Chains A and B, each alone.
Chain A
Amino acid sequence: MATQGTPSILFTNTQPQQGFRLLEIPPELEELFTSKDAPALELKSPSAALAHAVADASGQEYVNLCTPTQTYRIRQVMSSNSLHILRPSLGQISKADIKVVEDEAGETGTLNLPDEAVTAIAKCGSTLELHIPPGGFSAVPFLEKSLALYDRRVGDDDDGDVAMDESGEIGLVEIRNLRDQVCADIPVSAVQCETGWMEICAFVDERQKVCWRPSARMRVNVWKRMMEGALLQGIDLEKQFLVGDLWKSVLDDGDDSEPPFPRGLLEAVVRRLCVPDERPALADEIKWASFDKAEVTKWVGETYLAATAPTVSSAIGRSEFLRAWKDCLPESWRDEVALPKLPQGAYKSPDPTTVFYVEPSQRQQVSKASTASSATAAKAKTTRNWHELLKTQTRR
């Protein structure tokens, strides 16, 4: 008999229930999940040591959901309502039980078992929500904690890398594996890991098979050495050049002599400074490069300041700093140098004649605090709300 009027659907509860989790997803994830070759995502949390070293603002344990390019913090939201997951019934209901809901499933035809039944197979008291904190996610703080600091004097031969020579250099695949091992413990997406890795010029020593992050002093020294080498060998750093040529220019004349630093470090610095559009993926070899003039100027100034005046007590004179900065750049780029070219908040002046370096982590706090306070001030001005007005007054 054809169903007339309102069809009713028998609703049952299945035992045993199944385990499900409900994840609320933003549009971009919905797109990703429904795309044809949807990638597998990862739920990552930092290793215990890293979680301890890189304190989270909430101070709690957390899990991040990582797509290849993006990271989300997962938040469990409890609900007083219960969410049941339904599916069409398998029809394992005894006719006798039906009496609970229906007098007779007989001639009236209101119920047509089991075609018209749905059953609850799971109950969820909470959903998982995703969010991105205001500053986004960065791998840099984690990389800084998990990588050893590389800080050796150019020409230092004191590290007895005798055994290394026999093992020879490792290929791109192994370098990648070493890097992936580091990134496995870092709870952000692969792309953000790579960005952070490039940002701090981290590198894999192809002979010692170790991942490093170079100190600011080391980075400046590598840059200076590259400048000198390029000058001697006539490599024009303002145009496209072969990275292999630059590496050769850095080596001392004698073929047998130890390189001043691992090639991986030179490549890391070149990668950091080259024009973003031409920058190859970390997995690929960097063969050709051309430098981004503005980026180089900014980076050299910032790194030089970080190397020479990392704290208030070691602040250096402004003019001295500007002169040294200019000296670190190719002749024709010297005019680029000016304090405002440094990244915002990268330096502070304890008095009008000196400057010192401010760590990126400190900078953000400063800018956040200032914007927050100005925002509340602005709010207080526009609002007629008395407790808003009072709130700012008591703060002062």
Chain B
Amino acid sequence: MPSIQLHPRSTASSTAATDASCFPITNPLPQLLQTPSGLALLELQGTINLSEYEQDTSSDGSSESNAPSYETPIGKIMFPDYSSLNPDDTKWMKRAYLYVGRYQRMTGEVKKLLRPIAVLQKRAGSSEAEELEVVEIVRYKVFFKNRPEPVNDI
């Protein structure tokens, strides 16, 4: 059985397999959640139900396809107690909101992961032998463990 190579994060971190290098956009997330490649983790109880596209979320290799990517707005994330002026204060982590649409809100928090999570992806351009790559090591997640509650439009 051939072994599969798992490569560490490339030192030129911005060239990670996500086409992260091509956006000059600043990361809007609080500093603590920012990673070199821009990847972050969000955990939800339940799923985001986008019925028509659901079929290809689990397959890998879909990143290879040349279909133009587009984004569907879901809602908004807020860290009500966060202030960029005082990033060392971690009290803000206790509260996070995820608005789904305009009238539902989930309450959650930012949690430090018990153990860091390495985000793995198939290495681009290795077609003959499968190779994996660590694209990021994430140490925090935004965790929404509660069900959505109705709110007024904000």
Contact = CB atoms under 8 A, between A and B. Distances in A.
Interface of A: 6-27, 29-30, 32-34, 38-48, 65-66, 80-93, 97-98, 100-103, 110-111, 114-123, 125, 127, 184-185
Contacts of B46: 81-82
A40 B53 CA distance: 35
Contact of A101 (B58, B62, B76): B76
Given A24-B115, A84-B41, A19 B71 contact: no
A90 B3 contact: no
B121 A18 contact: yes
Contacts of A14: 69-72
Contact of B6 (A10, A41, A82, A127): A41
Contacts of B67: 16
A85 B118 CA distance: 12
Contact of B59 (A19, A25, A32, A46): A19
B132 A43 contact: yes
Contact of A8 (B42, B70, B76, B113): B76
Given A12-B73, A16-B67, A17-B57, 14 more contacts: A8-B99, A15-B69, A19-B62, A22-B41, A22-B117, A23-B117, A30-B116, A40-B7, A42-B3, A66-B3, A87-B20, A90-B22, A93-B73, A121-B18
B112 to A, nearest CB: 13
Contacts of A38: 8-9
Given A17-B57, A101-B99, A9 B39 contact: no
User: What is the size category of the interface that chain B forms with chain A?
Assistant: 35 or more
Contacts of B145: 81
Q: Which of the listed residues A6, A45, A103 has the most CB atoms from chain B within 10 Å of its own CB? A: A6
Contacts of B80: 6
19 contacts: A6-B82, A7-B78, A9-B77, A9-B78, A11-B76, A15-B53, A16-B63, A20-B120, A22-B41, A22-B117, A24-B116, A24-B117, A25-B137, A66-B3, A80-B45, A84-B41, A90-B71, A92-B69, A117-B28
A24 B102 CA distance: 34
B74 A22 contact: no
A9 B29 contact: yes
A377 B23 CA distance: 63
A40 B8 contact: yes
A101 B38 contact: no
A22 B118 contact: yes
A14 B48 CA distance: 12
A81 B5 CA distance: 29
A86 B6 contact: no
Interface string B93-137: 000001101100000000001011111111000000000101101
B28 A118 contact: yes
Nearest to B25: A88
Contact of A92 (B26, B70, B117): B70
Enumerate the 8 nearest inter-chain pairs by beta-carbon distance, A residue then B residue, closest first.
A19-B60, A38-B8, A12-B71, A18-B63, A43-B4, A116-B28, A41-B6, A21-B120
